[in-house]
Amino acid sequence: MEQTLHKIAAIENLIFIGAASLDLKLDHKRYTEWLSNGKNAGMKYLEENVEVRSNPNLLLAQTKSVLVFGMPYYQGDKWTRPGFKTPRIAMYARLKDYHKLIKKKLDLIVDKLCASNESWRRSDFRVAVDTLPLLERALANNTKTGFIGKNTCYIHPRKGSFLLLGEILSTHDFSHHSVAQRML
């Protein structure tokens, strides 16, 4: 299954980062401290669904695994504005709505997973791309294939930090693939 996930992801121009541990206790504690210190800069939506962020089962009952994917978006410093020496548009913002783009790709992956196992149903999975209250960088970090850097981004050792993250929550256990999931 592991090689299949890597291959399916590559077809969709995604990177399969890995199956994440659902243990988010420490990350959730940091998150709530961050909120209580007012670090959310007035973005009130970050204060909503705080408990959901610590428990993917509240988004999909009986979640056993979260599959984490990344879409590289590094484009170089090719976009500049006249009179400016450095790019003025964030690289991820140069893309069409990446939420829709990655969701479509992850939905295709779910369809392929369901087609590969006749007992799996679409309802056994839920796709998230920055659209559900998940601690997605913490989940990416829980795959043990990279780390969260000082820039607060998830950093993949071979792909860097220019990755947009997307997740597939599943009621199926993919954790037994944890050793094989390393991309190094």
- Number of other CB atoms surrounding residue 34 within 10 Å: 12
Q: Which of 23, 107, 130, 173 is catalytic?
A: 130
**Structure-token match 């799996």, residue found:** 120
DSSP per position, 38-60: TTTTT-GGGGTTTTGGG-GGGTS
Start-end of H helices in 117-169: 136-142
Question: Cα-flanking dihedrals φ and ψ of residue 126, to 5°?
Answer: -145, 130
Start-end of H helices in 58-178: 98-116, 136-142
Q: Is residue 77 among the annotated active site residues? A: no
Cβ–Cβ under 8 Å, residues 145 and 17: yes
The residues carrying an active-site annotation are 130
